[in-house]
């Protein structure tokens, strides 16, 4: 069933925050808003504020390439993302807003024997953990994506591909606005243009946030910040294994035919999907050097275009309409960080790097449960911040779709 696009209930915009909340969520992106939504709907916690420095969905939630997939390489990650992927399927009914969800499948092409081994292993571990991924031959790939050049422009010949059947896309701003509206209707305060400049301390614990309008007391502060999380965590004395790198993306003009599947390449590290409007949406690896610059660069566009036209030659006929960049929090082991920080009253959901959009439903649900019950659900237990000190990494670099 699909819900009409204009069905979104209005968001209530309070003029000013209350002086105190049970929960203050810093960051009005997908993760912050979905956490607020599940706090209100699943745990009846509505004395909650979401503080956004700019306007909601102005950060990476509104800048990513909206791919939903669960074809990771480690059981912990596959189970988490598979749960999120399944939540996305029912999200229109859950939040009562059209999110333009489309299951298209994703093919990850392999161009070397090493990559073939990696993709075969991916298919096996995916199947074992409940995600549907199968190995396909070049001929089968041609059936799924007739536009593909199996010779890879003579440079990247395609030896095979893993086909993740449940790969999907959804409209990012609809997802976040749907969560925002649902949370707002149940009493959550969403405050835009309210930057958090520091934290309020009470002894060893965090007891609120500082804003230009004055302090706001909070039982729990959750950082759902994308991009500037290191600075916020530093106010709590928490150090994070995160570097912030820009990632560029662009869309072309309309392509009249249909691209049957999302196409990604482990070797070339780039991915292309078709938007609802028929435009081709292309992203690739993040910049090698960390920075907070959202300036899109010609050299990045040229590099992405070079790679993708080798696999999909028809892209040469299209023109780049718009390009942009987002700043991604990349953790040391290329997995997210969710849960307690060792400082009472201060939680984080971060390290969402280039894989955050797909995790919005499951991440928000899990963080809401942690805040409401004080116990992290088993699904996110492997993603604790202290895994680094304990040397229990969730190192899944090869599944991040970037490097």
> According to CB under 8 A, which one of 1, 139, 256, 288 is a site residue for another protein?
288
**Helices 113-128 & 75-89, crossing angle to 10 degrees?**
70
Take residue 114 and report the two structure tokens written for it. 């090493």
**Helices 360-373 & 30-42, crossing angle to 10 degrees?**
50
Q: What's the closest the beta carbon of residue 351 comes to another protein, in angstroms?
A: 12
Quick note: the x/- pattern for another protein over 320-339, rule CB under 8 A, is ------------x-------
List 244's β-bridge partners, or say none.
Answer: 329
Part in contact with another protein (CB under 8 A); list of ranges 6-14, 133-141, 251-259, 284-292: 284-292
Distance CA 326, CA 347 (A): 23
> According to CB under 8 A, which one of 112, 127, 295, 373 is a site residue for another protein?
295
Tell me: does residue 291 bind another protein (CB under 8 A): yes
Take residue 217 and report the two structure tokens written for it. 């007391």
Pick from 4, 10, 30, 13: nearest CA to 363:
30
Q: What's the closest the beta carbon of residue 121 comes to another protein, in angstroms?
A: 26
Q: What is the DSSP letter of 360?
A: H
Distance CA 203, CA 15 (A): 31
Q: In degrees rounded to 5, what are phi and psi of residue 86?
A: -70, -35
Within 296-315, the residues that bind another protein by CB under 8 A are 297-300
Take residue 86 and report the two structure tokens written for it. 């399944």
CB 75 within 8 A of CB 125: yes
CB 60 within 8 A of CB 173: no
Number of shown-chain residues binding another protein (CB under 8 A)? 25
Part in contact with another protein (CB under 8 A); list of ranges 40-48, 295-303, 309-317, 394-402: 295-303
CA 268 from centroid of its chain's CA atoms: 21
Tell me: does residue 73 bind another protein (CB under 8 A): no
Q: What's the closest the beta carbon of residue 304 comes to another protein, in angstroms?
A: 13
Distance CA 349, CA 329 (A): 11
Take residue 344 and report the two structure tokens written for it. 């009472």
Beta carbon nearer to another protein, 57 or 300: 300
CB 55 within 8 A of CB 190: no
Quick note: the x/- pattern for another protein over 358-397, rule CB under 8 A, is ------------------------------xx--------
Within 242-261, the residues that bind another protein by CB under 8 A are 242-244, 246
Pick from 264, 297, 286: nearest CA to 334:
286
Part in contact with another protein (CB under 8 A); list of ranges 86-94, 134-142, 268-276, 292-300: 292-300
Beta carbon nearer to another protein, 119 or 285: 285
Q: What's the closest the beta carbon of residue 273 comes to another protein, in angstroms?
A: 26
Tell me: does residue 198 bind another protein (CB under 8 A): no
> According to CB under 8 A, which one of 153, 195, 241, 398 is a site residue for another protein?
241
Beta carbon nearer to another protein, 93 or 289: 289
List residues near another protein by CB under 8 A.
Answer: 228, 230-231, 239-244, 246, 287-293, 295, 297-300, 332, 388-389
């Amino acid at each position: 069933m699909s819900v009409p696009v204009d069905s979104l209930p209005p968001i209530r915009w309070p003029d000013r925050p209350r002086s105190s909340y049970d929960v203050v969520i810093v960051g009005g992106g997908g993760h912050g808003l979905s956490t607020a939504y599940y706090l209100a709907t699943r745990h009846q916690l509505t004395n909650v504020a979401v503080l956004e420095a700019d306007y909601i969905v102005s950060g990476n939630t509104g800048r990513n390439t909206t791919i939903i997939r669960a074809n990771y390489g480690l059981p912990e990650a596959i189970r988490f993302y598979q749960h999120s992927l399944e939540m996305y399927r029912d999200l229109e009914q859950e939040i009562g807003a059209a999110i333009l969800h489309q299951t298209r499948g994703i093919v990850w092409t392999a161009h070397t024997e090493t990559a073939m081994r990696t993709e075969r292993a991916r298919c096996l571990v995916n199947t074992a953990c409940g995600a549907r991924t199968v190995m396909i031959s070049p001929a089968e790939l041609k059936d799924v994506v007739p536009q593909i050049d199996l010779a890879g422009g003579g440079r990247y010949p395609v030896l095979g591909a893993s086909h993740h059947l449940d790969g999907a896309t959804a409209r990012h701003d609809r997802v976040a606005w749907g969560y925002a509206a649902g949370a707002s209707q149940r009493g959550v305060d969403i405050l835009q243009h309210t930057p958090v400049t520091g934290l309020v301390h009470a002894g060893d614990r965090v007891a609120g946030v500082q804003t230009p309008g004055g302090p706001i007391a909070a039982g729990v502060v959750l950082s759902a910040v994308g991009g500037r999380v290191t600075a916020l965590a530093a106010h709590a004395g928490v150090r994070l294994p995160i570097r912030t790198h820009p990632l560029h993306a662009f869309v072309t003009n309309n392509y009249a035919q249909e691209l049957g599947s999302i196409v990604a390449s482990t070797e070339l590290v780039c991915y292309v999907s078709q938007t609802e409007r028929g435009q081709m949406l292309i992203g690739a690896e993040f910049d090698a050097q960390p920075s907070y610059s959202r300036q899109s660069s010609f050299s990045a566009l040229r590099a992405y275009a070079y790679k993708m036209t080798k696999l999909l030659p028809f892209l040469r006929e299209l023109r780049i309409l718009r390009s942009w960049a987002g700043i991604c929090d990349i953790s040391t082991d290329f997995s997210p960080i969710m849960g307690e920080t060792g400082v009472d009253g201060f939680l984080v959901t971060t390290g969402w790097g280039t894989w955050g959009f797909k995790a919005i439903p499951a991440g928000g649900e899990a963080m809401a449960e942690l805040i409401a019950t004080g116990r992290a659900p088993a699904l996110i237990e492997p993603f604790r911040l202290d895994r680094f000190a304990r040397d229990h990494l969730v190192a899944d670099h090869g599944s991040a779709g970037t490097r």
